[in-house]
Chains A and B, each alone.
Chain A
């Protein structure tokens, strides 16, 4: 049994964002890059599933992590190896970069198929572009049963089936059964991702990390990377600040609190 996990590297939520001179994206020269938050939960869930298999006396599934991105994503893959993944595949080829969820999904689907994964876990939505579409595209291309916003997973490797809890709006969940091979997009809150140990970090250096390119994946150059993207970004802007609201700024905490209370008294909400 082999479990694949797709991880995307994104700017840290707390980084200061600057719009690039082109106005079409963010200036990525001085950002702190991390694994997207849901993807850490997807990796943690894969580790938990593998540990549970082992505890049941089954063979431990092999965990393979995939990431598409420039050279910097190797750091994210090494981190995943330090957390306990066995192998990493970096979709590093220039021809694969600059795509959208459709283009990236095609390339990732080819990589996942090449590794013959029985189960693929991804995050529900990336913290940067956030189309929440890459996993659905991979599932569609591979013909895998798919569930988005997964909040619990139980694996029955003997029957090759999964029992999955999927989140719905307004505090309801749906319980589903899916057959393997399948793809699950994991929602944050399903688990609490572990931290890498020093031992894990040392071991990660020796674990295999393989590069994959467009030719090796046998994907059409016109359907991946920037050439395969279904849309282009014309401009990026800040949301309008304080749409008519009163802003209290640059004063002491005492003054800010007093001003706010005066406003709230006038609004008769106190």
Chain B
């Protein structure tokens, strides 16, 4: 199991578009992925779950990956978040 903290600097935070990208990315892995913000944890393969958190920009949230491909999965998340933050 690996755990890391991230921030989204994308304007308006983790709204529909960046959330969709992230959910699509983690869904391609076998590992279980959870996103925790302000004490609520959601399954990160679920778009509704991620959207329900309403994570604003520049606020930190935690991602926890657990499973056979956790290393690759976390790396992919890291890259994607960096991409998203750069495109802002």
Q: Do A and B bind each other?
A: no
Q: Which residues of B contact A (CB under 8 A)?
A: none
